[in-house]
Amino acid sequence: MNPANALTAPVTIPKIAAIIIVHNQAAELRRAITALERSAQREQLEILVVDCASDDATAEVAEEFPGITMQRLPEHFGATKALNIATRTARAEYLFLLSPDVEVSPEAAARLAEKLDTEPSVTGACPLLVDGDGKPLMRTRPFPDRQSLAEVRGGGELGWTPIPDETLALERSPVLYPGREALLVRKQFVAGMNYFDERFGEYWADADLAIKIRKAGRKLEMYPAIRATWHEPEAAPNDTIHKSDRILGAAALVGKHEGFVAGVGFRMAAIFGALIRFDFALLAALLGGKKVGSQAK
């Protein structure tokens, strides 16, 4: 090629940036990327992986897929910081937040992007998640307010909302909190809210996004005809630090959107609950403000 022509050659800007945050999930990551590589209009898709200091073979997966970008963090700073690193790196106008436990169909990314292209009021679009047999799963959550987060305050997790059978026949259905398992969102909106709030560690950055979309009068929609397969992980992290992260993050979320007093009350109720249950490890973590990434330097 003539050097002069090389300088004037058009630069292809991807339309969709698939963002996957991983920690010790080599097999899951390989499966997720393999599915993305089969995507229709693959040339419009950039795949960004942030490895949160894995100590398994996760980093080696990048060598199998030369068309992806992997950023390796020296320590596990929590998913929120990793999301911000990937979001700022992304060149595309749409961000496809994707769990490594999700295997997308070849048409999923392009079809979701078409929805955002044609429906300006829709800020986020997600597919219907199904199991390996194609059976729809309950993979949406209730709106994250004080009432729904009460179980989290006690050390549990936010439950799932059943999807009515009649919803499956609809072209689209509003969702309050789709999570980040498989969500296509406009990068402009995320940038406009100054990216993800890094007061959150591993959890609730996606809940904060959902609340801000609703407050802005925008829409989050699920399109049941567009599907992706969810592979249930063997075990979700449930150690003391992850419990503390969920509780402190939920308290920060409540305080941010329902007022300072509500947030402090949420945290104090969680602290007294841990004391009553004689869960001194959790009590110390809550008093010390421990979250995923808090010990990273």
Q: Which of 230, 249, 271 is where one domain is finished?
A: 230
267 and 223 assigned to the same domain: no
Please indicate, yes or no, if residue 127 is contained in any of the structural domains.
Answer: yes
183 and 245 assigned to the same domain: no
Q: Tell me: pLDDT of 81 over 50.
A: yes
SS (H, E, C) 185-200: EEHHHHHHCCCCCCCC
Q: How high is the pLDDT of residue 139?
A: 74
Average pLDDT over residues 20-45: 95
CATH assignment at residue 20: 3.90.550.10
Average pLDDT over residues 186-213: 96
Expressed as residue numbers, the domain containing 269 is 240-287
Q: How high is the pLDDT of residue 1?
A: 45
Cβ partners under 8 Å of residue 3, min gap 6: none
CA 43 to chain centre: 23
164 and 220 assigned to the same domain: yes
> What single-letter DSSP state applies at residue 169?
G
Q: Which of 230, 255, 270 is where one domain is finished?
A: 230
274 and 149 assigned to the same domain: no
Cβ partners under 8 Å of residue 278, min gap 6: none
169 and 33 assigned to the same domain: yes
Tokens of 194: 């100054």
Q: Tell me: pLDDT of 2 over 90.
A: no
106 and 246 assigned to the same domain: no
Whether the CB-CB separation of 122 and 221 falls below 8 Å is answered with yes
3-state secondary structure of 220: strand
Please indicate, yes or no, if residue 88 is contained in any of the structural domains.
Answer: yes
Task: Please give the mean pLDDT across all residues of the chain.
Answer: 91
pLDDT tens for residues 45-78?
999 999 999 999 998 998 899 999 999 999 999 9
Please indicate, yes or no, if residue 235 is contained in any of the structural domains.
Answer: no
39 and 115 assigned to the same domain: yes
Please indicate, yes or no, if residue 83 is contained in any of the structural domains.
Answer: yes
Q: Tell me: pLDDT of 208 over 70.
A: yes
Average pLDDT over residues 179-203: 95
Please indicate, yes or no, if residue 294 is contained in any of the structural domains.
Answer: no
Which residue type, as a one-letter code, is found at position 99? S
177 and 278 assigned to the same domain: no
Average pLDDT over residues 244-251: 96
Q: Sorting pLDDT into bands at 50, 70 and 90, what band is 7?
A: low
Which of 293, 250, 292 is closest to 273 using CA atoms? Answer: 250
Which of 102, 47, 91 is closest to 70 using CA atoms? Answer: 47
pLDDT tens for residues 150-179?
989 988 888 888 888 888 888 999 999 999
Please indicate, yes or no, if residue 295 is contained in any of the structural domains.
Answer: no
269 and 168 assigned to the same domain: no
What CA–CA distance (Å, rounded) separates 176 from 179? 9
Q: How high is the pLDDT of residue 236?
A: 72
Q: How high is the pLDDT of residue 10?
A: 58
Q: Tell me: pLDDT of 295 over 80.
A: no
Average pLDDT over residues 24-35: 96
70 and 97 assigned to the same domain: yes
Q: Does the predicted model carry a pTM greater than 0.75?
A: yes
Average pLDDT over residues 214-239: 90
End-to-end C-alpha distance for the chain, whole angstroms: 47
3-state secondary structure of 246: helix
Please indicate, yes or no, if residue 84 is contained in any of the structural domains.
Answer: yes
The structural domain count of the chain equals: 2
pLDDT tens for residues 94-144?
999 999 999 999 999 999 999 999 999 999 999 999 999 989 887 788 899
250 and 129 assigned to the same domain: no
Q: Tell me: pLDDT of 5 over 70.
A: no
Q: How high is the pLDDT of residue 8?
A: 54
What CA–CA distance (Å, rounded) separates 107 from 290? 41
181 and 248 assigned to the same domain: no
Please indicate, yes or no, if residue 297 is contained in any of the structural domains.
Answer: no
Q: How high is the pLDDT of residue 112?
A: 97
